[in-house]
Amino acid sequence: MMKHRVWVASVAVIAGAAQAEEAPIIVSGQPLATTAGAAAYDLSVLKRETLTASPSGRIEDALSGVAGFQQFRRSDSRAANPSSQGVTLRALGGNAASRTLVLLDGVPMADPMFGSVPLSALAPERLGAVRVMRGGGSGAFGAGAVAGTIALDSAGPDALGLVSAEAVANDRGETALSAGVAPRLGAGFAQVSGRWDRGAGFWTTPEGPQRVPASVKAAYDSWSVSARGVAPLAPDVELQARGLVYDDHRTLRFAGGTSHASGEDASLRLVGRGRWQFDVLAYVQDRGFSNVTISSATYRPTLDQRRTPATGLGGKIEIRPPVGGGHVLRLGTDMRRARGDLYETKYTGCTGASLCYNRAGGRNDDWGLFAEDDWAIGPVTLTGGVRADRWAVAGGYIANAILTESAPATAATPARSGWAVTGRGGVVRHVLRGLDLRASAYSGLRQPTINELYRSFTLTASGVSTVTNANPTLGNEMLKGYEAGLDWQVAKGLRLTATAFDNRVHHAIANVTTGTNIRTRQNVDAIHARGLELGAQAAWRRVSLEASLALTDAVMETSGAQIALDGLRPAQTPEIAASATLGWRPHAGWQIAATLRHTGAQYEDDRNSANSIQPAATTLGAFVMVPLRRDVSLILRAENLTDATILTRNQAGSIDIGAPRTIWAGLRFGAK
């Protein structure tokens, strides 16, 4: 049903575009313009040429060009468990849930169950730009923007061309294929694209005693299809429709250890750019996940998370009335509902016999009201916004059926709800020609995910099983933050940025060690992150440079039974992250780029154990595009050219490693 809805919505818009063939207007397919007040916050913009020229060709690689961006682990979306792909900024992590709001054409992309982001389905070649705003959010869907917002905007027909395609293969025989069409239909346009990535993968288990006969490479097979249509309904009103279908299979560490993630998303958006501007959006998500965990002691299945259906739906209404007087006023409301359930079987590691069946799930709701105003007064721009969120946790349950007992033990968790008021405000001052000073303060809210509330899990490493228990009593995370910085256009082609920040997430959710090989999701007093973010963009003739550096001191603030964690670094949070890309365009159509990235050391666990450290890693990547003939170019990509060893997991000495040196070659075709 979901697949049919996706395609029906897209076809309807395409048909509407064809009927509008005589219209004198060409639609953009873009959101309403970013307001001037956005300059008060730490904002980075990745252009299309940056997105399509990453060493791996994957969205998480391109986003890593903004220092401070991180997933829970350093693995990319070929070799990570999909449920661990939480996205955060400013070292405000601590577990696998996203603390950053990721939007695709205005639609939240986080999984309704896990809070993870389906990175393998977000193909960079479909995008026109990405805006990364660090710091807590307000506005639409701001309840998910504790660490910031990453807004992905789809590319239009001018950037995509009528027909585009790319086919590349690497030195391990893996392939990545993509193709798309984006015809103009009257005053509107349609876009359909697909991507397929497959390969036998690389060894995530290092050579030595940990690589056993049951060890296998991280094979992957994923595809996604996106359909989008834009049609004018009036000279200043356009309808946008988008559908996304994806499927992702991965093998993790041992034979039989597989994961499968799938999704079907659809959205409709009405954008008005007249005197009364408006943005009306509705979306629906249908997601699925399954996973088989293999014991590292007996190499038998210990868990079959056979089905995890999850649904999300929501929408927003935003209006910008023409108030005048240098003001841009935003008023609106938004709603999100997430529902998830899990069905899993646990086995004894020794014999492989079924031990028990587990079911759990629940529903999270959020309804928000927001207002924000930007006021330009000569060289000064003031901005301020407030949100009121009515949040609710309902329908929660945990059911365990132990096979040796006659009846399952089922526990319903109490429903709860409340109001939370958050806001943000800032000022930008144009000091000198090209120099802006800015300062801002903000607060934010994040509800615990359904996974954090109700799903317990076990990981076995080096023959030792570590249990992480769910906690249905988890409270909301609340952010308070401050920052100040500058944006300096030093000269034509040279721009520098600097931001100093102080962010504290109160009641942050972490995986806290509560016993021998036992962890429990708990609210700690706070995660406190202070740091400095620097950026540089330079262009001189045919040479360009994009660089960023994040220096962050992040610690947990705890008391009572958690006092042992006080002052320790949150799990998976480095103190330093840096990225620099040097580009060269020797001739028209040529593009050569080298990317150097460094990530500091980090810990696997909350106690910063010596046997859980993941050393610092530095990688070098490259991208080359050389035109061969009209519309056809040679593509070369190189990942981890120095073949550095990157630890992505270190659980008491049981280690996973990231992608080794990988060379890609292929062709890119684009016809206007």
193-207 pLDDT, tens digit each: 999 999 999 999 999
Q: Residues 423, 442: contact at Cβ < 8 Å?
A: yes
End-to-end CA distance of the chain: 35
CATH fold of 2-412+424-671 reads: Maltoporin; Chain A (2.40.170)
Is the pLDDT score of 410 beyond 70? no
Q: What is the DSSP letter of 481?
A: E
DSSP string over 283-320: EEEEEEEEEEEE-TTT-SEEEEEEE--EEEEEEEEEEE
340/310 Cα distance (integer angstroms): 4
Q: Which pLDDT score is estimated for 12?
A: 46
How high is the pLDDT of residue 23?
44
Calpha distance 430→380 (Å, rounded): 6
CA 653 to chain centre: 28
Max CA-CA distance within the chain? 78
Tell me the pLDDT tens digit for each residue of 443-462.
999 999 999 999 988 776 65
CA–CA separation, 642 and 640 (whole Å) = 6
Residue 464 has pLDDT above 60, yes or no: yes
Q: What pLDDT does 400 receive?
A: 81
> What length is written for the chain?
672
Provide the pLDDT for residue 434: 92
Radius of gyration of the chain (CA): 24
Q: Look at residue 15 in the predicted model and tell me its pLDDT.
A: 42
CA distance 511 to 175: 37
- Name the nearest CA neighbour of 651 among 73, 260, 77: 73
Q: Answer yes or no: is pLDDT of 9 > 70.
A: no
Backbone angles phi, psi at 554, to 5 degrees: -115, 130
pLDDT category at 492 given cuts 50, 70, 90 is very high
**Structure confidence at residue 6 as a pLDDT band (50, 70, 90):** very low
| Averaged pLDDT score across all residues of the chain | 91
Distance CA 32, CA 554 (A): 35
Q: Given a cut of 90, is residue 468 above it in pLDDT?
A: no
Residue 154 pLDDT greater than 90, yes or no:
yes
Cα atoms in the Cβ-side hemisphere of radius 13 Å centred on 176: 24
The pLDDT of residue 298: 85
Segment holding 373, helix H or strand E: strand 354-377
This prediction's pTM: 0.93
Average the pLDDT over 571-597 and give the result: 95
Under 8 Å between Cβ of 21 and 186: yes
Cα 179 from Cα 651, distance rounded (Å): 40
Strand 617-629 to 310-320 pairing: unpaired
Cβ neighbours of residue 500 closer than 8 Å, sequence gap 6 or more = 483, 484, 485, 531, 532
Percent of the chain with pLDDT strictly greater than 90: 80
Residue listed under structure tokens 């949100």: 387
pLDDT of residue 428 exceeding 90: yes
Of 409 and 107, more confident? 107
Asked if the model's pLDDT at residue 619 lies above 60, the reply is: yes
Residue range 64-105, pLDDT digits in tens: 999 889 988 888 899 999 998 999 999 998 788 999 999 999
pLDDT bucket at 351, cuts 50 / 70 / 90: low
Mode of pairing for the β-strands spanning 576-584 and 647-651: unpaired
pLDDT exceeds 80 at position 467: yes
Residue ranges in 40-171 assigned as alpha helix (H): 48-51, 59-63, 157-160
pLDDT per position as a tens digit, 231-289 = 999 999 999 999 999 999 999 999 999 999 999 999 999 999 999 999 999 999 999 99
Report pLDDT for 19: 43
Domain boundaries, the chain: 2-412+424-671
Q: In this structure, are residues 339 and 363 in contact, taking their beta carbons and an 8 Å threshold?
A: yes
pLDDT at 409: 64
Cα three-residue angle 319-321-326, rounded to 5 degrees: 125
Listed range (4-18, 208-222, 304-318, 464-478) with the worst mean pLDDT: 4-18
- Angle (nearest 5°) at CA 213 between 210 and 217: 75
Please report which confidence band the pLDDT of residue 136 belongs to, taking 50, 70 and 90 as the band edges.
Answer: confident
Q: Report CA-CA distances (Å) from 635 to 50, 318, 347.
A: 15, 42, 47
pLDDT band at 350 (very low <50, low <70, confident <90, very high): low
Phi then psi for 563, rounded to 5 degrees?
-60, -25
**pLDDT tens readout for residues 376-390:** 999 999 999 999 999
Nearest alpha carbon to residue 558 among 527, 599, 579: 527
* d(C-alpha 506, C-alpha 526), whole Å: 4
Mean pLDDT lowest for which of 515-519, 564-568, 601-605, 642-646?
Answer: 515-519
- Which pair of structure tokens corresponds to residue 641? 């050219």
pLDDT over 50 at 161, yes or no: yes
Mean pLDDT of 387-416: 81
Per-position DSSP letters for 624-662, written without gaps between them: EEEEEETTEEEEEEEE-TT----EEEEETTEEEE----E
Torsion, CA 581, CA 582, CA 586, CA 587, rounded to 10:
20
pLDDT level of residue 653 (50, 70, 90 thresholds): confident
Mean pLDDT of 13-39: 69
How far apart (Å, rounded) are the C-alpha atoms in residues 204 and 237? Answer: 50
